[in-house]
Amino acid sequence: AYSWGVYGVHPFILLNYSDKYNDLSTLAHEMGHAMHSHYSSANQPYIKSRYAIFTAEVASTVNEVLLMDYMRKHTYDTRQQLFLINQELESIRTTVYRQTMFAEFEKILYAKAENGEGITADLLDELWHELNCRYYGADIAPAKDISIEWARIPHFYRSFYVYQYATGYSAATALSENLLTDKISAREKYSGFLKSGGSDYPLEVLRQAGVDMCTPLPIATTLNKFARLLSAM
């Protein structure tokens, strides 16, 4: 699924839909992109309408998180509750923890290259295996084939793209918490974020929306939520 459009024309969403929860969540995600693009185009001149990658996944993830909150509040079946909690735990694990691991892999790799060290497939396998062991801890035994997993991740061809998933998810979690607790004020700020496009630096755009990514708070908010969800499970 994806959302796409051009300036002055409303965005289009193209996706498959088979009436499963994942389809609903994907639709909500793509609608977040569409909202962000629509409001930015409607409120910014062409030259400032495109938002940066750093903020590109924020609106889409806010929609996913708000949908998850709504579903949990309106679901009373224990098995469905467990499914929904697991979905959100996995979202945080794969987007915050895992993408941070991806970014560390890149950081170590580039440092080696800058120091003139040879980069071989064996070195990449060893580094990837070591990071998986460190990030997931002694209670998880990585499969032998996990060492080669780095080779199937296309994002590594776009330098340091991956960390922005972790920052974007953390910003979105903090924004959604604001929207759920301080509805009127937070909604006005969030509306301003959707309309901002590329009119300012991404950190400033998010700060105006109520999330300061120069502090540990958005990450801490996300990890605290992970802990609460795990306890609920």
**pLDDT confidence of residue 142:** 86
DSSP the chain: -EEE--TTS--EEE----SSHHHHHHHHHHHHHHHHHHHHHHHS-GGG-SPPHHHHTHHHHHHHHHHHHHHHHT---HHHHHHHHHHHHHHHIIIIIHHHHHHHHHHHHHHHHHTT----HHHHHHHHHHHHHHHH-TT----GGGGGGGGG-GGGGSTT-THHHHHHHHHHHHHHHHHHHSHHHHHHHHHHHHHHTTSS-HHHHHHHHT--TTSSHHHHHHHHHHHHHHHH-
**pLDDT confidence of residue 191:** 97
pTM of the model: 0.90
117 has catalytic annotation: no
The structure tokens listed for 15 are 């996706």
Out of 30, 57, 64, 177, the active site residue is 30
Q: Of 224, 221, 108, 213, give the one whose Cα is nearest residue 164.
A: 213
- The residues with which 2 forms a beta bridge, in sequence order, are 14
- Write out the chain's pLDDT in tens, 233 residues: 989 988 989 999 999 999 999 999 999 999 999 999 999 999 999 999 999 999 999 999 999 999 999 999 999 999 999 999 999 999 999 999 999 999 999 999 999 999 999 999 999 999 999 999 999 999 988 888 999 999 999 999 888 899 999 999 999 999 999 999 987 899 999 999 999 999 999 999 999 999 999 999 999 999 999 999 999 99
**pLDDT confidence of residue 72:** 93
Question: Do 198 and 44 contact (CB within 8 A), yes or no?
Answer: yes
The structure tokens listed for 222 are 């996300």
**pLDDT confidence of residue 60:** 95
**pLDDT confidence of residue 193:** 98
